[in-house]
Amino acid sequence: MKTIDSFNFKNKVVLLRADLNSDVCRGKVVLSERIKESSETISELKRKGAKIIILAHQGRPGGKDFISLKQHAKQLKVKFVEDVIGKKAEDAIANLKKGDVILLDNVRRLKEEFKPGKNALVKFFIGKVDFYVNDAFSVCHRKQTSIVSFPKYFKSCAGRVLEKEVKALKKINLKKCLYILGGAKPADNIKLLGKNKVLATGFFGQLCLISQGIKFGGYEKFLKKRLGKEFGIMKKLRGKLGNVLTPIDYAVKINGKRKEFSLGEFPSKYVIYDIGEKTMSLFEEEIKKAKAIYVKGPSGDCTEKGFCKGTIEILRAVSKAKGFSLIGGGHLNDALNISKIPREKFGHISLSGGALLRYLAGEKLPGLEAMSK
């Protein structure tokens, strides 16, 4: 894989695909690890005398977090251009000087982004750009123009964030990896069910239990509403849970306080917010034995005071484990910040959710494939 070390960027125009996609809280973009890490690649290219055009996305069309990149530009301390392939972008690119950086607007504003090929988005940059740098490992599972089409028309290489992710993933012994699968998006986890041992946490753990006949009571209605279509994955779980260890107790909220129930005490009317202490101990024993560990997503709702306990205990056990550890997903990154466990205690902290999971499941990532051709 070619990297930033492979080329001389002095006075060259670089099209940098970054992943700046972050949580948006009441219209405000949260300063994420993604934004912080991307700025390192940008600074390096600046130092090397490049003229830098950053292309990125935020949210998906129709979503609440589908907004412009104006705030991201402010956080990166670079100039924002309210345009992707129009006159304003054209002028801004023509005026770039050595070391200048501009961030174009949300590339997902263009329908061409979703139809890769030599489309208007690609044609716009032909003749304007010398190099394409892909620094968005976390988007490499998407067959989108800014990921798979540019490498066909420009000399390409990996940015530092992508390079770091790929190098770290090569270190993990996938055959002996223990998967701790939680988070808010349970459907993707199915891809990892099979040979390896799995500790099921978060919504995923609850769905595994329901599929085995456990009745949670009123909470199931809440879960159904919260997960929408993903609630239906339960049917696909049957027969696949041979290597999956599920929680044996849960924490619910009663009058604002944490209270733990063992599985036998359900159904109940209360909402589940976390795994319980017995589950934590059970899982910690598995973590101690593991040769390699991948943690995806929190075990419970870390935005609720007192309910990040399970997630933090899991992270603490993983931080002490002998095996190489890989931590993935945006929300788990936030939980890690709450836990105050030093980041160096882990083998690698990934900025990716879906892309990482697919990589571990042995799928080829279209973005990496495109660059290797």
**Does residue 142 interact with ligand 3PG by CB under 6 A?**
yes
Nearest to 145 by CA among 181, 109, 170: 109
Q: Please state the closest distance from residue 145 (CB atom) to ligand 3PG, in A.
A: 13
User: Which one of 71-79, 135-143, 157-165, 279-287 is the stretch in contact with ligand 3PG (CB under 6 A)?
Assistant: 135-143
Among 354, 359, 368, 370, binds ligand 3PG (CB under 6 A): 354
Q: Residue 139 binds which entry of Mg ion, ligand 3PG, none, with Cβ cut-offs from 5 to 8 Å by kind?
A: ligand 3PG
- The residue with its CB nearest to ligand 3PG is 21
The interface region with Mg ion, picked from 77-85, 88-96, 282-290, 347-355 by CB under 5 A, is 347-355
The site string for Mg ion over 29-58 (x = CB under 5 A, - otherwise) reads ------------------------------
Question: For the chain, what is the HEC assignment?
Answer: CCEHHHCCCCCCEEEEECCCCCCEECCEECCCHHHHHHHHHHHHHHHCCCEEEEECCCCCCCCCCCCCCHHHHHHHCCEEECCCCCHHHHHHHHCCCCCCEEEECCHHHCHHHHCCCCCHHHHHHCCCCCEEEECCHHHCCCCCHHHHHHHHHCEEEECHHHHHHHHHHHCCCHHHEEEEECCCCCHHHHHHCCCCCEEECHHHHHHHHHHCCCCCECHHHHHHHHHHHHHHHHHHHCCCCCCEECCCEEEEEECCEEEEEEHHHCCECCCEEEECHHHHHHHHHHHHHCCEEEEECCCCCCCCCCCCHHHHHHHHHHHHCCCEEEEECHHHHHHHHHHCCCHHHCCEECCCCHHHHHHHCCCCCHHHHHHHC
Residue 87 Ramachandran class (φ > 0 left, ψ -120 to 50 alpha, else beta): alpha
Does residue 60 bind ligand 3PG (CB under 6 A)? yes
Quick one: which of 353, 358, 367, 371 contacts ligand 3PG (CB under 6 A)?
A: 353
139 binds ligand 3PG (CB under 6 A): yes
Contact flag: residue 353 with Mg ion (CB under 5 A): yes
Applying CB under 5 A, the span of 84-92, 289-297, 346-354, 365-373 interacting with Mg ion comes to 346-354
| Residue 36 interaction partner, one of ligand 3PG, Mg ion, none, beta carbon < 5-8 Å per kind | none
> Would you count residue 138 as binding ligand 3PG (CB under 6 A)?
yes
- Window contacting Mg ion (CB under 5 A); options: 36-44, 59-67, 246-254, 351-359: 351-359
Question: Judged by CB, which is closer to Mg ion: 46, or 296?
Answer: 296
Tell the smallest beta-carbon distance from residue 215 to ligand 3PG (Å).
33
Give the footprint of ligand 3PG on residues 6-25 (CB under 6 A): 19, 21
Distance of closest approach, residue 184 Cβ to Mg ion, in angstroms: 10
Residue ranges that bind ligand 3PG, judged by CB under 6 A = 19, 21, 60, 138-139, 142, 353-354
Residue ranges that bind Mg ion, judged by CB under 5 A = 353
